[in-house]
Amino acid sequence: MASKNEEELRRLSIELRYLEQTAETLQSRINMINAVMTDVTYANMTLESLDREKENTELLVPIGGTSYIMAKLNNPDKIIVGIGAGVSVEKTRQEAKEIVKKRLEELDKTRISMQQQFSQVAGKINEDREKLEALMAVIREGKTSPNV
């Protein structure tokens, strides 16, 4: 019977490692989605603030590394929007707002789904750890466990 317990111990250990790797991957994806959502939220805020700006208004435009350049707003109703695969198209401000809003909604749905998956995996990890600890205690005592 000790070999059956040891076999179960190995199986649980392997499953636990797999689940922990899965949890790390999911957490990494959630972090990535959060970063993209932050970026898209900034785009949304910028589009909203453009409603208050007029043509030829001077703006500070971020160029990265906390650096900016001064630029004039030539046509506040023409927005270049990325649509994926490195492709961008010209849209009206309203169309751009709708695209950005839809993108935020899709990202939020994806994030919620990933968080639910993460919670399920975390629950299974805790369950397996409890089983593993109980089985290790049984093996240490040299007894067999009928319910493990």
- Say whether pLDDT at 53 is over 90: no
pLDDT for res 70: 94
Pairing of strands 87-92, 67-72: unpaired
**b/e per residue, 69-99, with b = 16+ CB within 10 A?**
eeeeeeebeebebeeeeeeeeebebeebbeb
Structure pTM? 0.79
Q: Which helix (H) or strand (E) covers residue 68, if one does?
A: strand 67-72
**Measured between alpha carbons, how far is 25 from 122 in angstroms, rounded to an integer?**
12
pLDDT for res 50: 86
**Measured between alpha carbons, how far is 112 from 76 in angstroms, rounded to an integer?**
34
With a pLDDT cut of 90, the percent of the chain lying above it is 66
Q: How confident is the model at residue 143 (pLDDT cuts 50, 70, 90)?
A: low
Domain architecture of the chain: domains with CATH:
2-52+91-141 (1.10.287)
- Say whether pLDDT at 52 is over 70: yes
Q: Is the backbone of residue 78 left (phi > 0), alpha (psi -120 to 50) or beta? A: beta
